[in-house]
A and B are shown apart, each in its own frame.
Chain A
């Protein structure tokens, strides 16, 4: 066990897999010599050589296409897209090439690629750096979408993603990179893709979220416990595609109330999908409509008003109170 930040856990996952599997490769802009703009890949080129861990030219579509070419050749590329907003430069290669390779070839080829990218609000990274674009990826058949909230899950989920035979979009929340440490096993281990985690058990209302919002949600749950004695069950989705509906429905059948919190814009996102599916499965168990606490449908706010734009403890508490008093 080592006490690690999330970025250290992410680096450790890549190190473990580069060591274990000679087909694993790591590349992207600035990931080689300097180890990435956030240092997620620091030291990996030195340890594994510049053939397997390398800097690419500044060209995201080329990175995506290179990964597809390596993937269909039996390699397992871990391609870093330097910031979430730069995926727009390579949407074709990610969404229409990598994600559809298996389908398009009738199962004859696959593209086992991990696209890693930092994202998320709360550190005053402006638009195209802090956006939450998981909704675009969730609507991409063939793509799995993973968003860890802590160092332990980050390592286990990244190892699962690298070992997965299909492409995985792995989103790393900027605010969580270095905000806290946790015990992480030194050896390789997996956290399964598609399984949510119950962060805290509760009986009165279910609070469903993912990424950095897990921590905001826990604060909100604490506050509600303190102010009303309400018991909030907090669930961390960990994977937003595929969704672990079973865990969500089990919880909602117990609490009869739920809210969903996401940093992303409101419309047609993960929260909307969670609500739709939980409602389909458990409407007769619900005592109140399921609420969404989200960012508004705008471009990501500039830094000065970021805290207003993002879901806050106060907004989540208000949502919980609304649902409890409905």
Chain B
């Protein structure tokens, strides 16, 4: 297969790329966001958006040049011969259609068979995806499924017509580490069974380890490296490849001893929070957080690790006094936040600032960068000019381009947006930063930069961090202590080094296994 794609304006997404893939082979495509790897996936299926043009090149599949096919002639290939698994299963499944019907629809598009037969095939595909309760999954709507189940449905959908090539575009980056490992194993398994080839697109080289036979490294639309995974990972030739492999988090890192004498800035005692979900038949209560106690020290980092849905974000919202727990106390600076009258609470809770994962959603797109950072300063009563100067100083300290302070956040990259969110949080002069998955979703080199920045800020301002993540690797990298959470409870809470060397609880061990198998 010889290949060369080029989208015309305003820039070319992919230039002069050639590779081949044969049955049963797994080829990884590694690149940061914007490197053209998703464009590649769409181009292979003839699904480039209307503003993209292919200037030259060919995609040869069993001797047929797919790029010469019309949209309609291409249709029988899509989903049946070449299929695609998207990054975010929650977005890629139709919200108003039952999961099983969405699989059955693919069969309908490619084969002539009766409705009941289609139904059987779809059920079989779901069972094949190791979804133990296949009949229930069949009639469930996407929002009723977990992220891992959704992704299995997507993969079952992609495999139901037994394709020759499966393109997986970041198939696991929206999933928990533990689920990631399962989904990857299932993917590998089923393709060996079907003798299908996989083109695995990702920004995270760890997902390719032990899976990919060969790796293509894409950087700014060009193929910069090509070879077996072992070769590329051990002897990276290109600068970008080197920076990716060197920034893989390698826990545990040094626990710092000299901070022992630091004072406690936040003490949480026996926090509990219950959500009551109303259903048509009766109520279903969810105990999101139960009886959790936690202490944050100035200048130190506590990692809070658990799978999605374990209650870690709820706990974070309680600590930041955004949500009122049903029981428990949160002491900040010697005050119990939930016993304060509301005007004092408003003043005190500024000491705890939250940073979110989805920075695109957490920043007001209508404000300029400067206004965003200056907003928390409004309460200080300083004149506008001084507030602006302070905002600019903060932006400069965090490595943001001050020359663009009147631009909007949508023009920034993911890493820059996270820096901006940090600047805004610091403007409130907090003592505690709660980082809710603040590093996930970023490219690895960017992650490493932000981690370094966080460490510097902590040293210069004696900040306490609560780092919330599903990935023990990230937590182990900068945390002094780690708390492992499972179904609303903290099951293990020790220094990072001890936790890694001698995990006590089963959940900790399974989280550790998940990152080791990657």
Verify that A and B bind, or say they do not.
no
Seen from chain A, the residues whose Cβ lies within 8 Å of a Cβ on chain B are none
